[in-house]
Homo-oligomer: A and B are copies of this chain.
Amino acid sequence: MTARAPRADALRNRSRVLAAAEQVFVARGTSVSTEEVARSAGVGIGTVFRHFPTKAALIEAVFRERLRRFGEEADQLVASDDPAAAIWTFLSRVAEVAAGKQAWADAFTSANLHDVLTPAREQLPRVLGALLARAQQVGAIRADVTVPELIALMLAVARVPDETPEGTALRARVLAIVFDGLRPRP
């Protein structure tokens, strides 16, 4: 009567589903069936739909969660006393996490998912905005660059497939070009 055991169970299941969904979506795209997500989470499909009323809601939750974690990383970096290093680190980090993952770029651009993800997508500008402002203050990035450009450019790097060694090297080169383009011309 005191504690509420079932609530704990439910929360754990929700986390499991979210984790399984992220892994599966990222590896094979958001078109994998909900059934497969459930199987991979070790729960029944009914449980998935209990926690996320539609597949779209599940997809949104997955990416919102990922963005939340990016937000946490950004918050820590904002406190850094080297704003230039902070933004390069963050952009590299995003590129690294998203590298070669279809689902990430899909999430931001797929026509089908566009409306679904609009709310989740709005988080990224907030965290990036702070990092960008500080980097521009110290002259690490051109003054005329805005957050949307950063997002577009990160997605570019994220799309470079890096399953092979050449892929990893290519991603590094693309990142370098983008960073160079972002720096003020001397």
Contact = CB atoms under 8 A, between A and B. Distances in A.
Interface string A143-157: 011101100110111
Given A170-B152, A186-B186, A177 B110 contact: no
A105 interface: yes
> In which size bucket is the chain A interface?
35 or more
What does DSSP make chain A's interface, helix, strand, loop or mixed? Answer: helix
Interface in A155-182: 155-157, 159-160, 170, 173-174, 176-182
A174 B182 CA distance: 10
Contact of A152 (B102, B145, B146, B157): B157
A106 interface: yes
Given A149-B170, A149-B173, A179-B181, 19 more contacts: A28-B111, A29-B112, A31-B112, A102-B109, A102-B110, A102-B111, A103-B111, A145-B173, A152-B170, A153-B174, A153-B177, A155-B156, A156-B156, A156-B159, A177-B181, A178-B181, A180-B181, A181-B181, A181-B182
